[in-house]
Amino acid sequence: MKTALKVFFVALVVIIIGGVFMVKGCLSAINSTEADTKAFFQSVIDEGSQVAYDKTSDYFKEATTFEDFDAFVQSSGVLDYVDFQSTGYEVSTYDGVATKTINGTMMFNDGTSIDMYCDWVQVGEEWKVLGFGGTVVE
């Protein structure tokens, strides 16, 4: 009886420790994606449209030419980006491809803000921009 009880407690400890590492890994991936969202939009300002476009996924590039992306950057106010604050996320898998949607608010120098989302797709060990969009907060 004592041996069975010991095995039970050891198994319970292993499950708890494994669960903690899984949760930590999931949360760090989500947090890094929020940081990556901020970094992506900041790279448009710091490094230019071409460098930011090069950081996007192949899926994004199939749907959006560089010329269209650059026209969006020049006309959308992204160059006046100040900050992005996440309000939540969704994780999903479709046909074996992992994606995340980071929801949040993008703030600009002039005080306006946009409720937006940024979709990410996992490519190997990296997360790359899949798409983004939003609506102006009035």
Cα torsion angle, 100, 40, 25, 123, sign: positive
Kindly report, residue by residue over 66-94, the tens digit of the pLDDT. 999 999 888 887 788 888 888 888 889 88
- Domain count for the chain, please give it: 1
**Domain limits for position 65:** 2-136
Between residues 52 and 8, which one has the greater pLDDT?
52
| Per-residue tokens: 22 | 């899984």
Indicate which CATH number applies to the domain containing 111: 3.10.450
Residue 116: C-alpha distances to residues 8, 39, 42, 109 (Å): 47, 15, 16, 17
